[in-house]
């Protein structure tokens, strides 16, 4: 009997491995189909470049103030390591690394599908369900889109999924479980600042675990050893404050103006319509009703609910507690980006970790509702089918665009290319998209791709050489700084939108009727002019360096004084008399 069971398990694993391999092949072709780089990816590349050149993770080298204009410490650390070890620069390595992290996400999804708790009926068709889950993942346009881009998105999504699976699926809540959740939570935090939410969720679980060990009088040194990875975020947090002088990245101050729910609600509704997630929500509602009924029955039980809640802190976190913490973490993350930030400039990037979670949770819902194998397979297939028409038609319409014309590029109509029963949904989605696009929200990947191509046609090749007339501190100014910062590594670049500029990122914003996602801040003319920019890009693509008069040449002391003046005047709002202005009038 044992031999038959072992043979079955080996056979099941072999089939699962084959299914996963086929999914990885599909991912590769999808990665090639959606391959693109964003201009913002080159912001991180410049930080990596400065680190390799010995200047540290800075945008402009000293004496300019250090700012944290990148959004992923782990991303730049990996890019730097690859450059140093293999000699491969970030523009060549970033998307290959993203593919690797997307592949790990596929493996984790297989792990989740094979390990999740299912009813007896569904247990017998687990391999079929795993196949459908992977099919839904590799056919999802958002997942494929963010398997490249040059940004840290695939890395963050991979770490986030790993944390959720570690929290929920590791049965024994002991040393290895604590080590898994603290390690993955630390990686998520290093991958993006959003990871602070995962750290918070992990802290809740660790507190429950600690109280349980104390109650049983079984607290050992191994408990403290297993949570040591939590020191990593603390160390990084302290390092950030000491290195950049701030507790949060500079990008937070540059992008966050005020809560923007009117944008976020449209963004969320558009995503739900585009991927047919209303079916998932319908099933979730049924599950919620069933759980409510169970809760009402629980109230009538002999043991009071208060006593049950107290008992939670007297035993190691069980699967239900862990699931609640994981779900609440996802809900808080979605709520923050939806109702506070208002979505994202980069298409569905902030929702791009959802596809594997939606697929896995849908299967779990089927199990909770005791659906038959046939009904489960049909329901899951329908969920996948609903996620395909609008995104894929939109994708193929996008591919027809070969010139960067914003109005034509991002406002693509797909309703005319869909079956009659999908037209109403597509038209409603187009209305939502029109509003979003007018506010620079949900800009599609093809526009970012074409924009970058235009940037490389305009800018010269990257060079570390500077002519004598550049002076000791050459300065340039651009509103879009990714490629500019990469091709001009030895030139200080003033970032017009403030992502990499301390002062601009903190400028007060007056009341605006028309907000633009991540494009609300602008550099004051006097601020830019005070640094006497002397590097320009000509229409021919040639770099023009202008020599400053000796009396106006920048020095280390002048740069420090100028930055302090503008910090006091524009950020701290100190009323400084014009007579105390430290810089002279710009020469004609």
Q: Where are the domains of the chain?
A: 2-33+67-262+305-346, 459-580
Q: What values do phi and psi take at 275, rounded to 5?
A: -110, 15
Chain centroid to CA 113: how far? Answer: 24
Is the pLDDT confidence value at 308 over 50?
A: no
Q: How confident is the model at residue 269 (pLDDT cuts 50, 70, 90)?
A: very high
Is the pLDDT confidence value at 313 over 50?
A: no
Query: Which ranges constitute the DSSP H helices of 411-481?
Result: 423-438, 445-458
Q: How far apart are CA 226 and CA 180, in angstroms?
A: 9
pLDDT at residue 297 in the model: 66
545: three-class secondary structure by DSSP: strand
Chain centroid to CA 273: how far? Answer: 22
- The residues pairing with 443 across neighbouring beta strands, listed in sequence order, are 346
Q: What values do phi and psi take at 151, rounded to 5?
A: -85, 180
Find, among 549, 532, 552, the residue nearest to 491 by Cα: 532
- The residues pairing with 535 across neighbouring beta strands, listed in sequence order, are 545
Is the pLDDT confidence value at 1 over 70?
A: no
Reported pTM: 0.91
pLDDT at residue 479 in the model: 87
Q: How far apart are CA 81 and CA 63, in angstroms?
A: 26
* Helix (H), strand (E), coil (C) string for 153-179: HHHHHHHHHHHHHHHHHCCCCCHHHHH
Token pair in block for residue 253 = 């101050």
pLDDT at residue 525 in the model: 87
Q: How confident is the model at residue 524 (pLDDT cuts 50, 70, 90)?
A: confident
Is the pLDDT confidence value at 440 over 50?
A: yes
Query: Which ranges constitute the DSSP H helices of 439-524?
Result: 445-458, 482-487, 502-505
Cβ neighbours of 573 (radius 10 Å):
9
* pLDDT tens profile 31-47: 999 999 999 999 999 99
Token pair in block for residue 441 = 């929200």
Instruction: Give the gyration radius of the chain's Cα atoms.
Output: 27
3-17, 36-50, 483-497: range with lowest mean pLDDT: 3-17
Average pLDDT over the chain reads 88
Find, among 138, 160, 123, 148, the residue nearest to 19 by Cα: 138
Q: How confident is the model at residue 520 (pLDDT cuts 50, 70, 90)?
A: confident
Token pair in block for residue 201 = 């969720």
What are the angstrom distances between the C-alpha of 96 and each of 22, 139, 346? 19, 20, 20
* pLDDT tens profile 121-135: 898 899 999 999 999
């Amino acid at each position: 009997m044992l031999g038959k069971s072992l043979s079955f398990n080996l056979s099941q694993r072999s089939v699962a491995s084959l299914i996963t391999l086929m999914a990885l092949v599909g991912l590769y072709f999808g990665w090639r189909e959606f391959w693109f780089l964003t201009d913002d990816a080159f912001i991180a590349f410049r930080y990596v470049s400065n680190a390799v050149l010995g200047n540290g993770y800075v945008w402009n080298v000293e004496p300019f103030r250090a700012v944290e204009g990148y959004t992923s410490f782990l991303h730049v650390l990996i890019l730097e390591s690859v450059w140093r070890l293999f000699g491969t620069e970030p523009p060549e390595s970033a998307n290959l690394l993203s593919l690797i992290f997307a592949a790990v996400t596929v493996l984790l999804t297989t792990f989740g599908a094979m390990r999740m708790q299912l009813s007896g009926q569904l247990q017998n068709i687990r391999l079929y369900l795993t196949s459908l889950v992977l099919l839904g993942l590799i056919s999802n346009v958002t997942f494929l889109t963010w398997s490249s881009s040059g940004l840290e998105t695939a890395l963050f999504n991979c770490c986030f999924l790993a944390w959720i699976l570690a929290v929920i699926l590791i049965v024994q809540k002991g040393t290895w479980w604590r080590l898994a959740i603290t390690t993955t939570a630390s990686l998520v935090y290093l991958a993006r600042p959003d990871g602070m939410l995962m750290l918070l969720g992990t802290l809740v679980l660790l507190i429950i675990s600690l109280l349980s060990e104390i109650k049983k009088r079984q607290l050992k040194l191994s408990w403290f050893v297993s949570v040591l990875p939590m020191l990593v975020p603390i160390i990084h947090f302290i390092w950030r404050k000491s290195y950049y002088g701030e507790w949060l990245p500079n990008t937070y101050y540059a992008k966050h103006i005020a809560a923007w729910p009117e944008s976020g609600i449209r963004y969320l509704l558009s995503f739900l319509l585009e991927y047919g997630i209303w079916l998932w929500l319908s099933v979730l509602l049924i599950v919620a009703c069933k759980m409510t009924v169970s809760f009402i029955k629980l109230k009538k039980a002999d043991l009071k609910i208060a006593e049950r809640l107290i008992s939670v802190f007297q035993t190691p976190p069980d699967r239900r507690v862990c699931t609640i913490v994981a779900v609440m973490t996802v809900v808080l993350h979605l709520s923050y980006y939806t109702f506070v930030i208002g979505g994202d400039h980069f298409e569905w990037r902030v929702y791009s970790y959802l596809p594997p979670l939606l697929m896995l949770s849908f299967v779990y819902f089927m199990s909770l509702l005791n659906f038959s194998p046939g009904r489960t397979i049909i329901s899951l297939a329908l969920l996948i089918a609903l996620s395909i028409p609008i995104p894929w038609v939109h994708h193929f319409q996008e591919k027809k665009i070969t010139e960067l014309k914003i109005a034509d590029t991002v406002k693509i109509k797909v309703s005319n290319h869909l079956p009659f029963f999908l037209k109403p949904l597509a038209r409603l989605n187009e209305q939502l998209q029109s509003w979003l696009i007018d506010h620079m929200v949900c800009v599609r990947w093809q526009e970012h791709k074409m924009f970058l191509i235009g940037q490389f046609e305009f800018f010269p090749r990257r060079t570390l050489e500077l002519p004598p007339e550049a002076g000791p501190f050459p300065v340039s100014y651009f509103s879009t700084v990714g490629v500019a910062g990469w091709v001009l590594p030895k030139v200080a670049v003033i970032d017009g939108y403030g992502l990499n500029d301390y002062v601009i990122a903190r400028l007060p914003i007056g009341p605006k009727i028309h907000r633009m996602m991540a494009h609300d801040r602008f550099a004051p003319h006097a601020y830019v002019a005070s640094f006497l920019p002397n590097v320009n890009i000509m229409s021919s693509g040639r770099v023009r360096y202008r020599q400053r008069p000796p009396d106006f040449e920048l020095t280390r002391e002048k740069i420090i004084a100028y930055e302090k003046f503008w910090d006091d005047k524009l950020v701290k709002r100190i009323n400084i008399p014009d007579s105390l202005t430290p810089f002279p009038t710009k020469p004609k």
